[in-house]
């Protein structure tokens, strides 16, 4: 057994550990074909890492795609009863343009999804498994958390234009404070609203470090409710003993069209980009005609080659 493990690549060892972790926690394996009807991806291109999808016409005339994503397939095929939670994990290859390249690659990816009657306990379970997934890769890791309700609430409170909102979210992702100030000036924001956007971009730290700063984001009923929700999640993670693994960072924006609530990214020492990404995507469930809530994440095993 030890000799067999010794010849596995870092990707394969991580995949082996992740599959065992998810199965031990009651998640069932989801299997999918290499091909899916292109339409499901075309309607949700904003959710994909890349809009570029490999397509071909089947012998029966249907336009098919080589799968660029697993989550969309899981939601499409979910059969959810009232009060049920569907818990699945996957280990699949996806086909898309890899980060930093201009060529399609076959990328190994693992992850899990919870769909249906997702509650606070389920959410904390998924976040805990995200931390444990990072532990499977490296003991030196961090999970960065954001909340799309807070970000969206602040953008609306500042009465930004659609283009201004988009630009601010992009600047947040880059941690570009000067870019945020430029948008505030261009949109003619008063000093209070401009300061609010700057505050959002500079909040970073552990659970105990950011509590006071989060209170400063409560400017109306929407943001107050979102901050209370986020604090509940953070306190739950703290109760699980995960404080040392968690950082709050609103540069983790998520797609506001699909995500609702917590969004997160995971990092390990030695790899400059995130190796794990996920969040709550109730909006995606609704756009695909499914009732209920959803949360999940993916581990990008191809990043371990670095």
Q: How far is CA 280 from the centre of its chain?
A: 7
**What's the burial of 271, exposed, middle or buried (CB within 10 Å: 0-12/13-18/19+)?**
middle
Query: Which pLDDT score is estimated for 202?
Result: 92
pTM, rounded to two decimals: 0.90
- pLDDT of 50 reads 67
Q: H/E/C letters for each residue in the chain?
A: CHHHHHCCCHHHHHHHHHHHHHHHCCCEECCCCCEEEHHHHHCCHHHCCCCCCCEEECCCCCEEEECCCCHHHHHHHCCCCCCCEEEEEEEEEEEEECCCCCCEEEEEEEEEEEEECCCHHHHHHHHHHHHHHHHHHCCCEEEEEEEHHHHHHHHHHCCCCHHHHHHHHHHHHHCCHHHHHHHHHHCCCCHHHHHHHHHHHHCEECHHHHHHHHHCCCCCHHHHHHHHHHHHHHHHHHHCCCHHHEEEECCCCCCCCCCCCEEEEEEECCCCCCCEEEEECHHHHHHCCCCCEEEEEEEEHHHHHC
Q: How far apart are CA 164 and CA 160, in angstroms?
A: 5
What local confidence, expressed as pLDDT, does residue 21 receive?
97
Q: CA angle, 218 as apex, 267 and 291 as ends, to 5°?
A: 65
pLDDT of residue 4: 42
Say how far apart CA 60 and CA 273 lie, in whole Å: 41
Contact 218, 224 (CB under 8 A): yes
Q: What is the pLDDT along the chain (306 residues), one digit of tens a residue?
A: 454 444 457 788 888 999 999 999 999 999 888 888 888 888 877 777 667 788 889 888 888 888 888 888 899 888 888 889 999 999 988 888 766 677 788 888 899 999 999 999 999 999 999 999 999 999 999 999 999 999 999 999 999 999 999 999 999 988 899 999 999 999 999 999 999 999 999 999 999 999 899 999 999 999 999 999 999 999 999 999 999 999 999 998 766 677 889 999 999 998 888 999 999 998 888 888 888 999 999 999 888 876
Question: Per the structure block, which two tokens stand in for 174?
Answer: 């880059």
């Amino acid at each position: 057994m030890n000799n067999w493990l010794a010849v596995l690549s870092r990707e394969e060892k991580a995949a082996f550990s992740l599959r065992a972790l998810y199965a031990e926690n009651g998640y069932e394996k989801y299997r999918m074909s290499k091909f899916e009807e292109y339409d499901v991806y075309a309607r949700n291109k904003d959710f994909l890492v890349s809009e570029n999808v490999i397509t071909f016409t089947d012998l029966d005339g249907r336009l098919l795609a080589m799968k660029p994503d697993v989550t969309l397939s899981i939601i499409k095929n979910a059969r959810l009863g009232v009060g049920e939670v569907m818990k699945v994990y996957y280990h699949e290859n996806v086909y898309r343009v890899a980060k930093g390249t201009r060529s399609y690659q076959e990328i190994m990816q693992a992850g899990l999804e919870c769909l249906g009657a997702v509650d606070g306990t389920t959410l904390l379970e998924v976040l805990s498994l995200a931390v444990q997934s990072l532990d499977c890769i490296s003991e030196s890791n961090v999970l960065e958390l954001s909340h799309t309700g807070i970000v969206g609430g602040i953008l609306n409170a500042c009465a930004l234009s659609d283009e201004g909102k988009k630009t601010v979210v992009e600047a947040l992702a880059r941690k570009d404070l000067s870019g945020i100030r430029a948008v505030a000036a261009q949109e003619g924001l008063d000093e209070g609203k401009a300061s609010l956007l700057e505050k959002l971009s500079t909040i970073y730290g552990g659970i105990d470090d950011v509590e006071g700063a989060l209170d400063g984001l409560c400017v109306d009923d929407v943001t107050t409710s979102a901050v209370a929700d986020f604090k509940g999640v953070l306190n739950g993670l703290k109760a699980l003993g995960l404080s040392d693994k968690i950082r709050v960072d609103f540069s983790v924006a998520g797609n506001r069209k699909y995500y609702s609530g917590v969004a997160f990214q995971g990092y390990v020492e030695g790899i400059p980009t995130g190796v794990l990404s996920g969040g709550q995507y109730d909006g995606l469930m609704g756009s695909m005609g499914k009732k209920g809530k959803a949360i999940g994440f993916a581990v990008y095993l191809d990043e371990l080659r670095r």
